[in-house]
Structure formats: structure tokens, C-alpha cells
Structure 1
Amino acid sequence: MEKAVLKLNIKSVFPMLILALFSANLAADDSQPSEQIVVATWHEIQSDILKETRRYAVSLPPNYDQNESEHYPVLYVLDGHSVRIKGVVGMVESLSHYDLSQRIPQFIVVAIESDNRNFDMTPTQNDLAYNGEVLQNMKHNSGGARKFSEFIKTELFKDIDSKFRTNDSRGLVGMSLGGLLAADILLNSPNMFSHFLIADATYIWDDNYLNKTFLKSQQVLNDAKANVFIGLANNDHIGEIGIRNRQWGNDFINNLSTINNEQLKVTSKYFADEQHGTVMFLAFYYGLIELYGTN
């Protein structure tokens, strides 16, 4: 009889012990202060050039506050929406961490938001078209790249440099239409940035705009001092448009490589297994290491 009672007591008590231990662990966890992982902070700037208020997000290196005498390179990221901010900042912080052998230096990352990217990042007023076929109606909402670039150069640089400890190194990262804008800045104001990371740009814009513009920009590039990485995706799955976009991308790379200027360094990588929609972070990863690699 006593043996039966003992079994009953154990069965009754055991769940209570588990519950008590679990509750104790929860209480211990609750007693710890919760700490948020902050990726970046939003800032605003009133632009006289654009006649509007613009937002940008800033991520500082993990040891920024501890190293008060240190000045950092700045990486400007186009299409700076929240998803891209988190992705790029995570990649930059990981690659600069000792866990990954500190492949690149630490950066101040500035992600520039664009509510109307079609306008901000296109250098001419036109539809997105190929071979006479309109792919996207953009003629009345395009052509704002020069003003947007001037805003970055004249207003945003000044704002960033006044608020944060920057050095002379400025990198620009752009994908798709953002790559188009980055390439256009390279052709027209190559010394605006020291590093350009151009991922699968829209080379079909305005019937091969970038290569036609290159022919007018050779003298400017002769005096440029910049490191350039260009990533290309395999878009053969969409037919002639995708094939031609890569062809014109290769033409752009080859044209840049003909410039007789040792201070203009151009490297590239073709991602045969990636499409436009999947190439971005691979291009960013290899591009950052190629442009800034410390070992």
C-alpha cells in the first residue's frame, strides 16, 4: 500500500517540480534587462535643391563611441529602405568583425531613402523601353538623377561630415536603377566617390545610355581616382532583353577598362547562377571585399 502511495506522490509532484523550475527560469530571464539590437537610426534633412525633406538612415561602427579619435570611411547605399539597411549593415558589420577575419574595415553606413526611385535614379526623361517596346511608362516620372546627385554631393555630404567622424573615403552602392545612377555619377563626377559598387545596373535604359555617355566622358575619366566593382547577373531567362542588358553591361566594363588611367581600377564578376532578383547580396558581398579587402 505504501509503495502505491509513493508512486502516486511522485507522479503528482514531478509536473509541479518541472513547472516550478520552468517558472524560475522565466523569472530569471525576466529579471535580465532587455536589450534591443539597433541597426540604424533615421535622420531628416531639408533639401533646398530637391525642395523637400529627405530621410536617411545611419549605422555607426560597433566601437564608434569607444574610439573617439577614430574617423571612418562612409558607405552610401541607394534604395535605403529598411530591408536593405538591415541587410547591408549586417553584411558590413560581419565582414569587418574578427569572426570573419576582418575582411573589410568598419564603416559608417548611410542609407538614402527614395520614395520615388524612378525619378531620382534615372538620368534622362524617358520610358523604360527596349527595341521600341515600352516596358514601363516612366516618361513623366523620370530624369531626376542630376538633382538627386547634386543633393547628395552638396547637402548630404556636408550634413554627414558635420555630424559624424568621417574620413576622405566615400563609397557608393547601387543596384538596378540604383546601379544606373551609380554608373552615371561615375561617368560625370567620378571623384565624387572613391569607391563604386554597381550591381546589375539597368543598362537598357534609354537605348544603351551608359555606353553612349561613356563616349562623352572619357576625358573626365582620365582624371578620375576611383575603385569600381561591377556585378552582372544572368538574365537570359527573360529573353533578348536580359541578354542585351548583360551584353551592354559587359560593353560598359570593357569601355571603362580602356581608359589609360592607373588610378581608375575596374574589376567585375559575372554571377552565372543568379538572376536580377537574387544577385544583389552576392554582388554586394564580393564587391565589398574586392573594393575594400584588407587581406
Structure 2
Amino acid sequence: MEIHRLESDLLKDPLEYRVYLPPCYDQQLQERYPVLYLIHGQSYNDEQWDRLGADETADKLVASGEIPPFIIVMPRDRNWGQPDEDPFGQVLIDELIPLIDEQYRTMPDRRQRAVGGLSRGAGWALHLGLSEWELFGAFGAHSLATFWSDAPYIRTWLSEIPAEALPRIYLDVGDRDRPPILAAAMRFEELLTQLNIPHEWYLFPGYHDEDYWAAHVEKYLRWYSQPWSTTD
């Protein structure tokens, strides 16, 4: 796992981020790889997905041939404001993604790029996956905490995406999660169903905690990487 810092004029402190490279990255030097951006929850940092075992799980599944190799980027959001107050999203879009595509052998195409997150990070995944749909072919919202400033725009964002370009969407939440989180996930799922937008929805047993997320990391990684198995 690599740990880096990105200096940005938009941020008071450097953006810290971790990069997971698949086991074959340094052996197959002509290969290029899809990229998955994973965002942590509030009060956590870029180490969270690492602690939940995302890298070990990816190594295991890649080594067994069950999923294709891909890169994972785990950035740190230090601020807890709404997207119109927190420049994290803008820095990720305008600075981090171009940097990753420049420094690593990525496949710089929306079909080979996905974003996911936990809790507040799931709110970011929804925000970026819809408002910046040209950049992401899929997003996953795990225990979704929707940004209140995004709520009025979600239906509009969905309606503005061409039907043939709709991102893949994965949504899950624990049945004993905090009531506002559970309600947010269910409202978004109901909206997707109402608009006939394809998505995967899971109401699993569990709470709003790392035990819940760790139990589903393997399922998450299988879902994100599924279309990359057939990439031309």
C-alpha cells in the first residue's frame, strides 16, 4: 500500500491518499488497469478501507482469478461540510484523478473508473457519481448519508444522464442502522425504482459500524470489478 500527499491551493492541508496496486502491477508492465476510488466515513480517514481489509481482499480475489486486477485509491476528506463548502470533491475531480491517470498505468475512461464510499463517503459517491457522471461508470453507496444540500438535485441529476450512460449503482444498508441513514438509503432506492433506473439494493442485517462494512468488503469489490472482467 502506497501513501501519498497532494498539495492543492484549495485545501488548507495536503490531501493524503493511499494507493493499492494489484500484485501483477510491477510484473506486467504493458498492462493498464481500471481504478476504484473508495472514500471513508465521517470521523475516519484514508486508512479506514485499508483497515477493513480492502487490499488483502483484492489480493486474494485477484490471485485466485475471481476478479480482474485493478487499482484502488483511498483519499482522505478532512472536512465535514456539504459539497458546496468542502473542496474535497473538486480536488478529487480536478486534481487527484488526473494525477492518478498520469502517474499510474490506468485506463482513463469512465467505464473503467468507479467510486464508492461508506456513510459520509457514500454521500460523496452519490454526489460524484451523479453530478460527475461523465467520469464514473459506477458508484456504490454503502450505509448512505445523503448530503442535505444534494437532496433537492438528485432527481434532476438522474434525469439529465442519458439512458445509455446511466452508471451502475449499488446501494446497501444495515437493517439496524441509524434511523436517518436507513431512511436516506430507502428514499434513494425508492426514487431509483420509481424512475425505473437499474440498481442493486441490499438490506443486510447489521448496524452502522465497521463490523458491518468489513463483512461486505468482498461483495463490494466483486460488484465494482464485475464489468472489468470483460473489458476489451
Structure 2 length normalisation: TM-score? 0.82
Q: How do residues 1-295 of structure 1 correspond to structure 2 at under 5 angstroms?
A: 40-50=1-11, 52-79=13-40, 80-86=45-51, 87-98=53-64, 102-114=65-77, 116-119=78-81, 122-123=82-83, 143-144=85-86, 147-167=87-107, 168=109, 169-203=112-146, 205-206=147-148, 210-222=150-162, 224-235=165-176, 242-259=178-195, 265-271=198-204, 273-277=205-209, 278-293=211-226, 294=229
TM-fit CA distance, 1:88: 1.2
* Structure 1 unaligned regions, length at least 5: 1-39, 125-142, 237-241
Contact 1:233 / 1:246 at 8 angstroms: preserved in 2?
Answer: yes
Task: Report the AA paired with residue 188 of structure 1.
Answer: S
Q: Looking at CA atoms only, which structure, 1 or 2, has the larger radius of gyration?
A: 1
Instruction: Find the aligned partners of 1:248 and 1:254 in 2 and give their Cα distance.
Output: 10
Give the residue type in structure 1 aligned to 2:118: M
Q: 1:106 to 1:42 in 2, by over 3 A?
A: same
8 A Cα contact 1:190 1:220, kept in partner: no
The change in CA–CA distance for 1:50 and 1:57 in structure 2 (over 3 A counts) is same
Query: Following TM superposition, by how much is the alpha carbon of 1:175 offset from its aligned partner in structure 2, in angstroms?
Result: 0.3
Q: CA deviation at 1:83?
A: 4.3
Contact 2:116 2:122 in 1 (8 A): yes
Query: What secondary structure does 1:274 align onto?
Result: coil
More deviation, 251-260/59-68:
251-260
- The structure with more helix, counted as a fraction of residues: 1
Question: Once superposed, which parts of structure 1, at least 4 consecutive aligned residues long, lie more than 6 Å away?
Answer: none
Q: Deviation at 1:45? A: 1.6
8 Å contact 2:137–2:168 — kept in the other structure?
A: yes
Amino acid aligned to 1:182: A
Higher RCO structure, 1 or 2 (CA under 8 Å, sep 6+)? 2
Q: C-alpha separation between the residues in 1 aligned to 2:127 and 2:25?
A: 32
Contact in 2 for aligned 1:175/1:198 (Cα 8 Å):
yes
How much does 1:192 deviate? 2.3
Q: CA offsets per residue over residues 1-21 of structure 1, 9 Å max, x none?
A: xxxxxxxxxxxxxxxxxxxxx
**Residue 90 of structure 1: how far off its partner (Å):** 1.2
Q: How many residues align?
A: 218
Secondary structure at 1:118 match in 2 = coil
| Alignment partners' CA distance in 2, 1:64 and 1:258 | 42
Q: Which amino acid aligns with 2:173?
A: L
Q: 1:54 to 1:247 in 2, by over 3 A?
A: closer
Q: Flag the 1:282–1:257 CA change in 2: closer, same or farther, 3 A.
A: farther
Q: 2:39 is aligned with what amino acid?
A: L
Distance 2:199 2:145 in 1: 18
Contact 2:83 2:89 in 1 (8 A): no
Unaligned regions of 5+ residues in structure 2, if any? none
Q: Tell me the CA shift for residue 151 of structure 1.
A: 0.7
Q: Match of 2:34, SS?
A: strand
The Cα offsets for residues 46-100 of structure 1, whole Å up to 9 and x where unpaired, read as 11333542221112111111101100011112125334224211122222221xx
Provide, for residues 187-225 of structure 1, a one-character-per-residue CA deviation record: whole Å limited to 9, x for no partner: 32222212212100114x53xx55432233233233543
Contact 1:78 1:174 in 2 (8 A): yes
Q: Secondary structure at the match of 1:63?
A: coil
TM-score by length of 1: 0.66
